[in-house]
Structure 1
Amino acid sequence: MRLPLPRSLRSQITASVALLVVLVVGVAGLVIVDRIDHRDRTDVDRQLTARADKVQGDADKLLSQGNGADSPGSDDYGGLLVGSQSLVRLVSGDEIITQRGDQPTADIPVPTSDGLSTVRVGGQSWRSFVQPLKDDSDERLQVLQDLGPIEQRLADNTRIVAGVAALSMLIAAGGVWLITRMILQPLQRLRTGAHRIRAADTHQQLPTVTRPQEVADLSASLNRMLAQLQTSMHATRRFTADAGHELRTPLTTIGMNLETLQRNPHLPAAHRQEALDAMVMEHRRITVLLEGLQILARGDAGALPPRATVDLPALLDEAVRHAQHRHPLTTYSTSIATGGVPRVQGWPAGLRMAVDNLLNNAALHGRQPQGQVHVSLTWDSSQAFISVIDDGPGIPSDEREAVKERFARGRRPRSHGSGLGLALVQQQAELHGGALTLGDADGGGLRATLTIQLHRTAGSPAHSTPPAHSRRR
């Protein structure tokens, strides 16, 4: 049968310590009592042996006294033995010749063997020692001692141990109950703080605990977990709100075009194709919008893949090559500093997306057609700088921070993008320990610079060198 355990940790600790104290004190006390009892019984055996030797030397005197009970002052042995709870007997065969001392309440049987033994008579225990009186005689001397006082002492000591163990248990339980109240107070604070947390509150944290160390570590871990959950919840809510807000217009447009086609089955082919083209464009817009929102939501929630080493020159070269295919009317040129190759510990897909967005923005917002876009990569001891320069009208200085917000398109947008491009670049820059900076290009246009924290490798120089090559695509 399984014993029920207390539900609270405080009660479990108190019960466990109290039980341990009872066991330790009880076992230790019983061991001590057993040793005391053993010592007492050993003393009795020693006294019996010494008394037998003394009586054996005066056996003739004992025999001359005859048989019977003693009274104080009746003889040398009677005066000593009466009241001492001891008895001396001379036995010949199965017959008792004489006996002196305290008589038990019942007759003690005649001993059948020599040596030490314990005899139980009338509810009393007697310790007996028997030895031959003379070597050439069948007479034997028996000396007995009442063990009642020793057994009483054993019972008294056992009760004392039980009482001390019970008292120790109560004292230990009371002390542990008070101590655990202080020790577990930080846990109680955490539990109270956890009860106050509500799903609607996105900034609630558990109380900060400094000691004990285990509870402090638990508090810090739980607060980090809460922060991650709150960040994830915030990202989910923002994704839902942004998606609902931005998808309303394209979905409405698609719905109106579908309704137009349904109500006008004989619509001219040119008008029908125009409606279909509009729906295709809105569908593409929705797809791009959802992809951008998903990336932003994953970044907000910290749901990122493991970091990897990124070769920035190779990534930049591939991104420019693909951008040239997407925008054949735009001319791209690159310049990469020579020296130690900068490497970044980051997310290759995120950095590639950020560079692609900068290259697309430069092509879409640069001079139309025959625009020129220049891309450069430089670095210092701690950061890499990817700069994309176009030859368009640029962005006014008072709008540069605003266009990095989500769904921002500026006052005079030149394309029908989702408004998430620069927001995605800004997020990736922050995730990689850097930033996105918008400024004026030297020859006019916009200079967008993506700063990334570097992971230096052995043998890499501390500073960049002038560009060693420049390519035009």
Structure 2
Amino acid sequence: MKLTPRSLRSRITVAVALLVTVVVALAGLVIVARIDHRDRTDVDRQLAARATKVHQDAGKLLDQGDHTGTGKEAGGDDYGGLLAGSQSLVRLFSDGQVVAQRGETPPTRLPLPTGDGYATVQTDGQTWRSLTEPLGTQGDRLEVLQDLDPIERRLADNTVIVAAVTLFAALTTAVGVWLITRIVLQPLQRLRTGALAISAGTTGPLPAATRPQEVADLSHALNTMLDQLRTSMEATRRFTADAGHELRTPLTSLGMTIETLQRNPDLPAPQRSRALDAMRTEHGRITALLTGLQTLARGDAHALPERTPVHLGELLDEAVAHASRRHPAVTYHLAAATPATVLGWPAGLRLAVDNLLDNAALHGRPDGTVDIHLTHATGSDTVRITIGDDGPGIPPDQRHAMKERFTRGTRTRAPGSGLGLALVEQQAHLHQGSLHLGQSPAGGLKAQLTLPGADEPGPGGQVHS
């Protein structure tokens, strides 16, 4: 069985209570030790003072001899009265024998001292502090003793007091911390309640906390994570719905063509060829739809790599060269422009430019011309890519709707999925830019992609925006 508390509140309470117990106990023991040391030092000081006094009257004590009683009545001297009831004892030795003794005589005879100086003597359950000094030059010795039982009792009493204070401090601290942590952990409890509500089907954010800072940071991080998950889930749902809606027609057409071929194995070659061409067309439409939807889903979920400097001049040169090979009948005219750099994703920008070039070729005049301009005015913080064709264009009242997914113009007869401008619009937003649709000088559609510019990379390839 594990003794570690499970809840954070219990762990904090136990940890703080243990810490307070250790600190109070150590502090109390240090104080008790200091008091005991002071008491024992005072005893040694008193013994030294008493020995000095006895040195002065040693001759008189030797003349009076040994007295086993205490007090003037018993011993007939001043020392008997002074030491009576003080739990003190004075002994004089000569040739290893006690020749004079005054004070509180213990029930059990004390052993003779083995050397000069301070010593602690144990006898019959009593503890005495002893100071032995030489007396004169005849080999006589003086010993003064003090019973340490009062000091031992004081030490025991102080230890009991420290234990009681420690126990009281631990219990008081545990109760106080238990009550305080209930208030401190309320923001975490609210987060837990919000998380349980989310798991039960609620899609709202977790309660925002402002204090304490750690809980506020946790709340912000969790809400950010939930926003990302919600965005990803919405992108997945939208991808599933769009794919199911848009793929139904080409898949149905493809299935009908396959069924026709299966039922008519002897179909004439021209009809078979037309059927296969229709299947190839539907296959290409399905592939284009899935590619476009997958790209849109990634953008919706913000599954994007780290931004890097992108040289738009080089990107446009390469994109126009590839577009010319895809649409050899169309003339692409890329006007010279000043170098321009943006921070973004090369694949996403290339996708946007390719869609605009293909859109201009498919919806412009057959064998028409597409004009491409890259402008970056000196001192300006924006870069504009403008692509115009000479086709029928888009009426002003339809231009905004044309940026929605699966929307096709009423004037066009070219094949397409209706995702091209939607992909460009998404990339514009992901790059903190915009897409504007207007009329070109040739009367067709003019698509202008505006992006925030960046400074040219300096030494080491770093870009400062």
Which segment drifts farther, 119-128 or 440-449?
Answer: 440-449
RMSD: 2.2
Q: For 1:107, which of 97, 109, 112 is the aligned residue? A: 109
Q: CA deviation at 1:201?
A: 4.5
Q: 1:321 to 1:115 in 2, by over 3 A?
A: closer
1:138-157 matches, within 5 Å, as 139-157=140-158
The residue type equivalent to 2:376 in the other structure is: W
Q: In the alignment, what sits opposite 1:410?
A: 409
Over 3 Å counting, the alpha-carbon distance change for 1:274 and 1:125 in structure 2 is: same
Q: CA deviation at 1:429?
A: 1.1
Superposition deviation, residue 62 in structure 1? 2.5
2:376 to 368, 374, 379: 379
Alpha carbons of 1:275 and 1:300: their partners in 2 closer, same or farther (altered >3 Å)?
Answer: same
TM-score relative to the length of structure 2:
0.91
Percent identity between the two aligned chains = 63
Paired with 1:54 and 1:314, the residues of 2 have a C-alpha distance of 109
Name the CA distance, whole Å, in 2 between partners of 1:113 and 1:3. Answer: 58
State the alpha-carbon separation in 1 of the partners of residues 200 and 253 from structure 2. 36
Could you say which residue in structure 1 is the equivalent of 2:217? 217
More moved, 176-185 vs 277-286: 176-185
Matched position secondary structure for 1:62: helix
Distance of 1:105 and 1:7 partners within structure 2: 60
> Once the two structures are superposed, what CA deviation does each residue of 1:10-69 show, in whole Å capped at 9, x if it has no partner?
222222222222222221221221122112112212222222232233234324254321
Give per-residue Cα distances to partners, 1:180-239, cap 9 Å, x unaligned.
33332222222222222138544x212212222222222222211111111111111111
Instruction: Give the count of matched residue pairs.
Output: 453
3-state DSSP of counterpart to 2:4: coil
Residues in 1 aligned to 2:172 and 2:398: alpha-carbon distance in whole angstroms: 75
Give runs of aligned pairs for residues 1-150 of structure 1, distance below 5 A: 4-63=3-62, 64=64, 66-71=66-71, 73-74=73-74, 75=76, 76-137=78-139, 139-150=140-151
Alpha carbons 1:72, 1:82 under 8 Å: kept: no
In 1, Cα distance between the equivalents of 2:248 and 2:316?
36
Aligned counterparts of 1:109 and 1:222: Cα–Cα separation in 2 = 79
CA distance in structure 1 between the aligned counterparts of 2:200 and 2:261, rounded to whole angstroms:
46
Match of residue 303 from structure 1: 303
What TM-score do you get using the length of structure 1 for normalisation? 0.90
Cα separation, 2, equivalents of 1:199 and 1:377: 52
Q: Distance in 2 between matches of 1:14 and 1:201?
A: 34
- Gaps of at least 5 residues in structure 2 are 459-465
Q: 1:201 to 1:176 in 2, by over 3 A?
A: closer
Instruction: Give yes or no for contact 1:292–1:424 (8 Å, CA) kept in 2.
Output: yes
Match of 2:463 in 1: none
Partner of 2:235: 235
| Corresponding residue of 1:159 | 160
For residue 301 of structure 1, report the CA deviation from its aligned partner.
0.8
Distance 2:134 2:268 in 1: 143
Code of the residue aligned with 1:372 in structure 2: it is T
Gaps of 5+ in 1: 460-473
Q: Which has the higher contact order (CA 8 A, sep 6+)?
A: 1
3-state DSSP of counterpart to 2:199: coil
Q: Distance in 2 between matches of 1:277 and 1:124?
A: 118
